[in-house]
Structure 1
Amino acid sequence: MPTRQSSGTERGKEGCAVPTGLAIRDVREQLFAAAERVLLRDGPSALTSRAVTAEAGCAKGVLHRHFDDFDVFLAEFVLDRIHRMDSQAAALRDSAGTGTIADNLADALTALFGSVAVAIVALLVFRDELRGRLRQTWPAGIPILTEAANMIASYLAAERELGRIAADADVDTLAPTLIGAGHLLFADRKGAPPEAGAVRKMVTAVIAGALPR
């Protein structure tokens, strides 16, 4: 189907403003992207259905045509952002045996907590109903942090198989320790992010006892 090439925005079938010349392929993703921007900019208390549709340039009823209620929307938004970690997890596993373990972990934690992850943790703490809905498919822990811990544990296990982590290292304990310490470093959403040296120093301290002697 031909598209218009003029500048500006136009209304798609769902009543959302999109760049002229681009058809709306996925209104859900447009709404998810708007939710992420509101969450990062204004925090969980500002994340309402009206704020999301306004940010997306959509009519007010669009969100509720796709989702039963706002907490269902938020649950699917959180799960979508968690699934986006799959490529990061694969890249981290592929880095096993290359570079230094401390650098690989520091880079992974910086990428994780420099994204929307910290804001999602705050959102889950803020909304009881959202946590309840997520427990229907994610029975334990805070979803994005448990998935991140699994990612780190998988990488450490790969390094252990290569002999770069001690054979008796408890990677299932090291991983959440790194995630918890990393979250503390990045938790101040409005402050400056920690320097790379501070992240690497924390990682080095946590894994020191797990390196081969």
Structure 2
Amino acid sequence: MKIKIILAEDDSDFGMILKQYLELEDFEVVWFQNPQDITEILKSDFSFHIGILDIMMPHIDGFSLAKMILKEKPEFPILFLTAKNQKIDRLTGLKIGADDYISKPCDPEELILRIKNILKRTLPTTAETQIKIGNYFLDTEKLLLSHKDGNIRLTIREQQLLLYLLKHNQKTIKRDDILNNLWETNDYFTGRSLDVFISRLRKYFINDPEIKIQSLRGIGFEIDFPTN
């Protein structure tokens, strides 16, 4: 299967270089200089595996475009390109549900590595697709967390973190281990991103007091998911 990438980048020189480099790595790249063109295909021919979106674009910025895509395709992985190393950019992207970000000008080899790492996490099939977690059920194929009071559509990153926590159920997990295994890096921004996702999971499981994700200051988290 050839991986199909949607690239939203209004800079013609950088976009062309990036497209050519990705194609050398045997990716199929559809490049849009006008992000408005992407919105027209969202409900029709949208057969992409990952999106690379520049944050600073005319007409529609990368954050707004990501929200539009994720509204129609909640499971779609997104990597942001940003020319600014500002915390607000990165945290905004993470709150939207993006999987990663990289600053421009970026090292092409680092970009390829980040893309492959995201795909490695998002493309593999899982033998067990229905997992009982307390009063909830997780459908790993649909990224759907179900409860009698309603359903929650997870992002890919949220499900990855939840599955990692389930794998280490009733154990103490170090923050560094989570960051190195899921984000493959450990810095301030990824640490903040982990806190955002942990906070979301706690809210999702609010209807079952038996489910506990406790923070251990300076260590990590203590997990207790009743699975029977």
TM-score by length of 1: 0.32
The structure having more radius of gyration, on CA atoms, is 1
Q: Which has the higher helix share?
A: 1
TM-score by length of 2: 0.30
Q: Which has the higher strand share?
A: 2
